[in-house]
Amino acid sequence: MDIFEQTMQSLSEKSPADKAAAIAEMHEKCPCPGCPTYNRCAGEAKEKLFCINGRSFMCISDPKTCICPTCAIGQSVGLKNNSFCTRGSEMAQRYEHTIWGTSLLK
C-alpha cells in the first residue's frame, strides 16, 4: 500500500465529521488558484482540491501548466498524477490507468 492508499484508508476510517474537517483543511490550503489553468469561474464556484474532489464540474476545460507537482499537499498524500481539474481525481486516474494503461492518457 503506497502513501496515497494509506491516506485514503486513514480518511475512510475517520468519523464523517472528522473526514469532512480534514478535507476542508486541505481544500483551504490547496494552491490551485495560483495556477495558470485556474480561472474565474472555478474561483466563483469555489472549486479546488481537484486531486481529491475530481475534475472541474463546469469551469475548467483548457489545461495549461499544472502546479500540482510542486504542491505540498499533493506530496504529503503521495499523488502520482496531475491536472486533476481536467483529468479527474487521483483515485479516478489510477483506476483509468489500471483499465487502459498510462500511455493512452498522457
Q: State the residues that interact with ligand SF4 by CB under 6 A.
A: 30-32, 35, 37-38, 49-51, 63, 66-68, 71, 73-74, 79, 82-85
**Cβ 23 vs Cβ 7: under 8 Å:** no
Give, as one character, the DSSP assignment of residue 16. Answer: H
Task: Select 13 or 28, whichever has its Cβ closest to ligand SF4.
Answer: 28
One-letter amino acid of 82: N
Nearest distance from C-beta of residue 104 to ligand SF4, angstroms: 20
- The number of angstroms, rounded, from the C-alpha of 1 to the middle of its chain's C-alpha atoms is 19
Nearest-approach distance from CB 43 to ligand SF4, in angstroms: 10
Residue with cell 483543511: 25
CB of 51 within 8 A of CB of 8? no
Q: What is the dihedral of CA 33, 38, 42, 48, to 10 degrees?
A: -50
CB of 49 to ligand SF4, least distance (A): 5
Cβ 66 to ligand SF4, closest distance in Å?
3
